[in-house]
Amino acid sequence: MRAVRVDEFGGPEVLVTRELPDPEPGPGEVLVEVGAANVIYLDTLIRSGAAQGHFPQTPPYVPGGSVVGRVASVGPGADPAWTGAPVLTRTDDGGYADRVTVPAEGLLRVPEELRPLDALALMVDGATAMMLERAARFTPDTWVLVLAATGGAGSLVVQLAGLAGARVVGAARGAEKLELARSLGAEEVVDYSRPDWLDRVRRITGGAGASVVVDGAGGELGSASFGAVADGGRFLSYGTAGGSFAEVDTAEAERRGITALGLNEMRARPGTDRSDLTRLALEEARAGHLRPHVGLILPLERAAEAHAALEGRRVLGKVLLVP
């Protein structure tokens, strides 16, 4: 089978398509013929070696944490009824390939009402967005600032906040992304490539700041956005596109009554099982409440281009690879 393998940490060029032996499903596993593989920003950090502190990996390895496809065969002890079924599944590794073996217990059936690629776009980012919604507690007529508002998860958070009646400020970089944020339901948009973007957020919110800030950027941008949280508000940080998670002054947060939650804190909260959250996201999409935006689809052999596009902030929405 074809697979994209990383033999050493480095830039996008280390993503090389190779012929590897076909995997065989073991006990309780199934073999999935991959229809598309999810590509997320974390994949680029792991590939570069920058994520070793949080997400350790040892080359050689095949990237890819989730796929959509069909079950080709089942291993001993797995339910044969899965054979031929259209499924979503997390893979941990190995998704950038023609085929992958996974535990049958982790399979999710693709809803008939959804395109497989749209369902895959909700596999990871949909679960993240639902987790953020629960932690944010969006309420009507309150301001919500979403950084990386056109990313895979951010674009869904914009929609979920709008569904709750919140007033959304979508923050992104460049006119094209700001236009997409508006189309997804953002009432106001700000370009955080401008030095006065935080001042603009404060003006929009009447000087008080946003009741909720959802940080999908991380790094310096994410850290700066903490200054846009209203007293008594909530700051939710999950993104690392800036190279690291946002840094928060915990003393200031306590003094101003701000609840600051990072990714690990949110994942530790009750009701945050990843499969359950993905199911909720799929249900919202089936009901027409969530519209994933797939911005770039490339063949497996162009995985390096997919990573370069993500790193260069050139993508609106989701990036997928198709074998």
Domain with residue 173: its CATH number is 3.40.50.720
Same domain (yes/no): 142, 154: yes
- Tokens 């949080």, residue located: 54
Q: Provide the pLDDT for residue 185.
A: 97
Amino acid present at 239: G
What element of type H or E holds 201?
helix 197-204
- Structure letter (DSSP) for residue 59: S
Cis amide leading into 60 (omega within 30):
yes
Q: Does residue 276 fall inside a structural domain?
A: no
Same domain (yes/no): 106, 117: yes
Provide the whole-model pTM: 0.92
Contact 94, 42 (CB under 8 A): no
What element of type H or E holds 15?
strand 15-19
Arithmetic mean of pLDDT over the chain: 96
Same domain (yes/no): 25, 103: yes
Task: Give the integer Cα–Cα distance in Å for 179 and 216.
Answer: 18
Q: Does residue 118 fall inside a structural domain?
A: yes
The tens digit of pLDDT for each residue in 257-281 reads 999 999 889 999 988 899 999 999 9
For residue 27, with 0-12 CB atoms within 10 Å meaning exposed, 13-18 middle and 19 or more buried, which class applies? exposed
The tens digit of pLDDT for each residue in 229-256 reads 999 999 999 987 777 888 999 999 999 9
The tens digit of pLDDT for each residue in 89-131 reads 999 899 999 999 999 999 999 999 999 999 999 999 999 999 9
Same domain (yes/no): 103, 157: no
Give pLDDT < 70 ranges for the chain. none
Same domain (yes/no): 130, 158: yes
Same domain (yes/no): 201, 310: no
Q: E strands within 104-220?
A: 108-109, 143-147, 167-172, 188-191, 210-215
Q: What is the CATH number of the domain that holds 53?
A: 3.90.180.10
- Structural domains in the chain (count): 2
Collapsed DSSP state (helix, strand, coil) of residue 248: coil
Q: Provide the pLDDT for residue 53.
A: 86
Same domain (yes/no): 258, 167: yes
Same domain (yes/no): 234, 309: no
Same domain (yes/no): 77, 133: no
Q: E strands within the chain?
A: 2-6, 15-19, 29-39, 66-74, 86-90, 99-103, 108-109, 143-147, 167-172, 188-191, 210-215, 229-237, 259-261, 294-299, 318-322
Strand ranges across the sheet with 229-237: 188-191, 167-172, 143-147, 210-215, 229-237, 259-261
Sign of the Cα torsion 66, 72, 75, 80 reads positive
Q: Provide the pLDDT for residue 317.
A: 86
261: containing domain: 125-267
Same domain (yes/no): 19, 132: no
What element of type H or E holds 254?
helix 250-256
Using alpha carbons only, give the angle 197, 198, 204 rounded to the nearest 5 degrees.
90
Q: Does residue 21 fall inside a structural domain?
A: yes
Same domain (yes/no): 136, 251: yes
